[in-house]
Amino acid sequence: MEKEEDKYAKELEVAVRVVHVACALCGRVQERLLATTNDHVVAKDDDSPVTVADFSVQATISWLLSEILGVQNVSIVAEEDIETISKDESASLLEAVVNTVNESLAFASKYGLQCPETTLGTPEVLEAIARCNSTGGPRGRYWVLDPVDGTLGFVRGDQYAVALALIEDGKVVLGVLGCPNYPVKIEWLNYHYQHHQTMPESSLKTPDTGGKGCVLYARKGSGEAWLQSLIDGDNMLEWPNCARLIRVSSIDDPALATLCEPVERANSNHSFTAGLAHSVGLRKQPLRVHSMVKYAAIARGDAEIFMKFAKCGYKEKIWDHAAGVVIVEEAGGVVTDAGGRPLDFSKGMYLEGLDRGIIACSGVALHEKLIDAVYASWDSSNL
């Protein structure tokens, strides 16, 4: 009989390696993006931005997972489809994606992964993107991918994440979160945040580029979450010896706790969050961060609380939370909806039945205080 700790061993190792490849891809694209006016940023039908990196990461991870695990064994729920990139006006974007995918796959062997025998053409790249057409649900095994979570942060040179999770019968069983701009040393994040108040986001740089970026991962039920520095491919051959255990913060005094919340106001109610923070005694200014880096901050012990209360009509997508939730939980944290119930990933592409919002905490004591505060404040919130 297969040991529990070995059940997803191959999938986890493959997932960690492909996320490292994706992070390297994103780093190269972001550098070019910030250095040129030919930025290849377009708007989707909902006016949200999408870049070369979004499509390239999705195609690269889709191709690698399918080749390594077998096309028949890989089902993927992902954010991007080929509708935007297939339009005539997106021809230059598509060309850039094809080139970027081939550039990244050429280096896959440095991460212990197989490279394609020949250069992928446009049809093969579009097929890899389109293959991510699963709609999820309560049965079977499928991957959940957000190729670039926090695209606004990405195009501004700020925080973003590559998020990959595996779901089986509606339950998240493993998660990998790549955070290319999230420094390994917390004091560098503080440097970034302090300067964020007075400087344009695109001008922010970590004081020392060494150790910039990390990949976090966890398997459900293991009670362990791990962190690797974002490293060059040659060192990935020694995986997982280059990883270290991480744990949530032990702070349970609200006055000492740090709150993370989304930067954008479009789909998060900052005023209600601020009211909750005040009512439970949070005193620190909130740390507003793009993307699932907020989950990484809690899992690493750099922050204690993440709250998000979406405005009426907004539906949370599973790819925005799956990887982060399992990593926080295995690092010792608690993640529920605002009614105190576990998040339900079995309903398809959306977190259907979500009770008001999402609350992630480093510990039970802070979590219970926030849940109580939601119940006390909700009727007067106008949400």
Annotated binding site for Mg(2+): 79, 146, 149, 320
Output the six-digit token pair for 119: 């250069």
Q: How far apart are CA 82 and CA 73, in angstroms?
A: 22
Q: How far apart are CA 326 and CA 227, in angstroms?
A: 14
Out of 84, 100, 151, 258, the active site residue is 151
Helix axes 122-130, 52-69, angle to 10 degrees: 80
Tell me if residue 208 is catalytic.
no
Q: Measuring CA to CA, how many Å separate 198 from each of 5, 202, 203, 227, 322?
A: 47, 12, 11, 31, 33
Phi and psi at residue 238, to the nearest 5°: -95, 10
Residues near 315 by beta carbon (within 8 Å), at least 6 away in sequence: 350, 351, 352
Cα radius of gyration rounded to whole Å, the chain: 20
Between CA 180 and CA 189, with CA 183 as vertex, the angle to 5 degrees is: 125
Q: How many CB atoms lie within 10 A of CB 74?
A: 19
β partners of residue 308: 358
Tell me if residue 209 is catalytic.
no
Let me know: does 33 contact 155? Beta carbons within 8 Å: yes
Output the six-digit token pair for 189: 């994040």
Read off the amino acid at residue 324.
Answer: G
Read off the amino acid at residue 334.
Answer: V
Q: Which residues are annotated as a binding site?
A: 79, 146, 149, 320
DSSP run (H or E) holding 243: strand 243-246
Q: How far apart are CA 105 and CA 100, in angstroms?
A: 9
3-state SS of 200-226? CHHHCCCCCCCCCCEEEEEECCCCCEE
Query: In angstroms, how far is the first alpha carbon of the chain from the final one?
Result: 50
Let me know: does 242 contact 234? Beta carbons within 8 Å: no
Out of 54, 158, 302, 337, the active site residue is 54
Q: Could you list the active site residues?
A: 54, 151
